[in-house]
Every structure is written in structure tokens, then in C-alpha cells.
């Protein structure tokens, strides 16, 4: 806990100094990456800690995003009651968590692969609502939120808002993962039978993990929308899901800080550094998918855990000599 806390504080301190050096166009991207990193960390909570392979995390991101967008622009559904952006973000999290509760109640009481199978198709299903009610949700294009209805308007303000959002969310999830609750999640991940024998209500805690994780996915989706001022079906997309998986797997499942760092790096790589590599059948997504396959086969425990293991071996070696 102490090590992770120190890492998080150092990282935030460095990030809070960035606006003095980085031009605002890049600052804008880094802020988006911070929100994306929260989504990755919340995925790590359900997969890396509770051990339930959720392949539909973007469902909850998209639900949160569209909920907040509709609440902030209520004229789209013919209501004039406007909601403050902060309230909209919290409500978005609650909507995502409620849907997650419903999904969890049906699928998580079953052992085996049912949860993965059902969550895998969730984003494809929920994405369709955008095309069915085109005039409300805006179809393929999505719709935009007027500048005056968002949380902040300048890039610097938005960047610090994203940084604060990241810091608070990750602190909270770090606290959960190190509490007795987190310990129960890990016990369930390592052996459901053993946890049951110890008197842990396995189904209850699996559902709780899903609800907490989806709540953060929802508020992150809502923050995303308030940050870039548009909402569109790409927030549901399976390719976003793969980006989340890629970051968490390379970062090392079940370490929170590893996925956080990798989330930042991968998001910037995809939207900034790799966009130059586009020729023939190669584009940035192809490169990332190949990377993911290679890492998953060669280092199934993640780069972060692999490096930590090596460092520990080296330090053991020096202590002995």
C-alpha cells in the first residue's frame, strides 16, 4: 500500500507540472489519457482482483457517457430540467452500477464462463440503442454538448479536473483493494471453493466488485464526455475494450498502478505516437493488437509484474553475496 501510494503521489506531482512545459494540444490528449487510465484501473479491480473476466466494460463506460450527455442536454428527450454537470456525472455512475447489478445478479451466481460470454456481447447490444433511437442519441455521429453546459471550458482547467478525477478515483480503488474487502476479492479470485469454505459469500462479493468497478467506468465515461464535449458510439466500441485489456495486461493484472501507467502510455501511443505508422494493411490498431497477442503469449503475468519479479531476484542475489 505504501509503495503504491508513493508511486501514485509522485506520478500526480509530475503530471501536475506538465502544463508548464507541454503545449495545450498535447495537454488535451494527456488529460483524455488520464480519464482512460481510470477506466483501465476500474477494469483491473473486477478482473485482476475479483478474477471475473469482464469483456463488456465499455458497456458501462458508454452508458455513463450517454446518461450524463442526455442529462446535460435534456432538450434531446424533450425535458427542460437541467442537471449540474457534477450531479450528472454521479448519476451516470449510478445508472451504470444499476445495470451492472442486474447483469451480475443473473450471471455471477453461475460458475464458469457465463459471465464472460454475456459481458462479451453487452457492448454490441447497448450500442444498437444509438441507431434505433437516432433522433435522441444521434446515431453514428453522436451529438455534442454546448460549451456552457460542460464542467470546464479551457484546456488547462479541464486537464487539472481530469488529473484530480484520476487521483481521487485511483486513491479510492487503491483503498478498496487494500481493505478487507479487497482481501475477499483476492480470495475469491484464487479459489472460489476455498473462499466459500471460509464463510465468504462468493456471489455477493463478486457482484459487489462488478458494481464498484462499473460505477467508476460510468463516471469515467461521463467525465470523458464532459472533457471532449461530444458523445458517440465509439465509447461502446470493442476496440476501446481491447485497448483497456491491452493496458491492463501489459501493466500487469492485479496491481492497479501498473495498469494505470500502461493506460496512460497506451492511450497516448494509440492517439499520438503510432498515428504516423499508417501504410497498406498496417495502422495503429493492427500494431496494438499484434503487441497484445505477443505480450499475452510471452509474458502472461504482465510486464510490470515481470519486471518487479526480476528486480526482486536481483536484490535477493545482492543481499546474499
Partner 1 sequence: MIEFIEFILFGAAIGGIFALIASGFSLIFGVSRILNFAHGVCFAVSAYSAIFLIKELSLDVYSASLIGVAMAVLFGLLVYAMTKPIRNNAVMVIIVTLAFALLLEQILLLVFGNRGLTLTPFVEGVQVIHENLRIAKIRLIAIPMAIAILLALDLFINRSMLGKRIQAVSQDLEASMLIGINVEKVFIVTIAISSALAGFAGILYSQIFNVYPAMILRVLIYAFAIVILGGLGSFRGSILASFMIGYVYLATMKTLGAHWSEFVMLITIVGILAIRPTGLFGVRE
Binding site for partner 1 (CB under 8 A): 47, 53, 55, 103, 106-107, 110-114, 116-118, 120-122, 124-125, 128, 131-132, 238-239, 242, 245-246, 249, 253, 280-281, 283, 285-286, 289-290, 292-293, 296-297, 300
The residue (of 177 and 226) whose beta carbon lies closer to partner 1 is 177
The residue (of 198 and 293) whose beta carbon lies closer to partner 1 is 293
Residues 2, 133 contacting (CB under 8 angstroms): no
* Nearest-approach distance from CB 129 to partner 1, in angstroms: 8
The residue (of 120 and 136) whose beta carbon lies closer to partner 1 is 120
* Nearest-approach distance from CB 202 to partner 1, in angstroms: 15
The residue (of 281 and 316) whose beta carbon lies closer to partner 1 is 281
* Separation between Cα atoms, residue 42 and residue 226, nearest integer Å: 19
C-alpha cell at 223: 467525465
* Nearest-approach distance from CB 99 to partner 1, in angstroms: 12
C-alpha cell at 9: 503521489
CA distance to 63, 116, 185, per residue, from 263 (Å): 21, 22, 22
The residue (of 279 and 318) whose beta carbon lies closer to partner 1 is 279
* Nearest-approach distance from CB 61 to partner 1, in angstroms: 17
Place of cell 447490444: 125
Eight-class DSSP state of 19: G
* Nearest-approach distance from CB 229 to partner 1, in angstroms: 27
* Nearest-approach distance from CB 264 to partner 1, in angstroms: 20
Which segments within the chain are labelled E, that is strand?
A: 143-144, 230-231
Q: Cβ-count burial of 254 within 10 angstroms (0-12 exposed, 13-18 middle, 19+ buried)?
A: buried
The residue (of 45 and 47) whose beta carbon lies closer to partner 1 is 47
Alpha helices by DSSP H, listed for 179-256, are 180-190, 192-197, 202-228, 238-251
Amino acid at each position: 500500500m505504501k509503495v503504491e501510494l508513493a508511486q501514485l503521489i509522485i506520478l500526480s506531482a509530475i503530471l501536475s507540472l506538465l502544463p508548464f512545459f507541454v503545449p495545450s494540444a498535447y495537454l488535451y490528449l494527456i488529460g483524455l489519457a488520464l480519464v482512460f487510465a481510470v477506466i483501465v484501473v476500474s477494469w483491473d479491480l473486477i478482473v485482476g482482483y475479483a478474477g471475473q473476466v469482464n469483456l463488456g466494460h465499455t458497456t458501462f463506460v458508454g452508458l455513463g457517457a450517454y446518461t450524463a450527455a442526455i442529462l446535460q442536454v435534456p432538450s434531446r428527450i424533450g425535458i427542460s430540467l437541467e442537471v449540474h454537470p457534477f450531479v450528472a456525472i454521479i448519476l451516470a455512475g449510478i445508472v451504470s452500477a444499476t445495470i451492472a447489478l442486474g447483469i451480475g445478479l443473473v450471471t455471477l451466481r453461475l460458475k464458469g464462463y457465463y459471465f464472460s460470454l454475456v459481458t462479451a456481447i453487452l457492448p454490441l447490444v447497448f450500442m444498437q440503442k444509438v441507431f434505433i433511437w437516432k433522433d435522441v442519441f444521434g446515431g453514428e455521429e453522436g451529438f455534442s454538448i454546448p460549451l456552457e453546459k460542460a464542467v470546464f471550458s479551457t484546456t488547462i482547467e479541464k486537464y487539472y479536473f481530469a488529473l484530480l478525477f484520476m487521483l481521487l478515483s485511483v486513491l479510492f480503488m487503491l483503498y478498496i483493494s487494500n481493505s478487507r474487502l479487497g482481501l475477499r476479492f483476492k480470495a475469491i479470485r484464487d479459489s472460489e471453493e476455498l473462499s466459500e469454505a471460509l464463510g465468504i459469500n462468493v456471489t455477493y462479493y463478486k457482484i459487489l466488485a462488478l458494481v464498484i468497478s462499473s460505477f467508476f467506468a460510468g463516471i469515467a465515461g461521463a467525465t470523458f464526455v464532459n472533457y471532449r464535449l461530444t458523445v458517440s458510439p465509439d465509447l461502446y466500441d470493442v476496440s476501446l475494450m481491447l485497448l483497456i485489456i491491452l493496458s491492463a495486461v501489459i501493466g500487469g493484472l492485479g496491481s492497479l498502478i501498473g495498469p494505470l501507467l500502461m493506460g496512460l502510455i497506451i492511450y497516448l501511443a494509440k492517439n499520438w505516437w503510432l498515428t504516423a505508422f499508417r501504410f497498406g494493411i498496417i495502422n495503429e490498431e493492427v500494431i496494438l493488437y499484434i503487441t497484445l497477442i505477443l505480450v499475452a503469449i510471452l509474458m502472461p503475468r504482465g510486464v510490470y509484474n515481470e519486471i518487479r519479479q526480476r528486480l526482486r531476484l536481483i536484490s535477493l542475489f545482492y543481499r546474499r553475496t
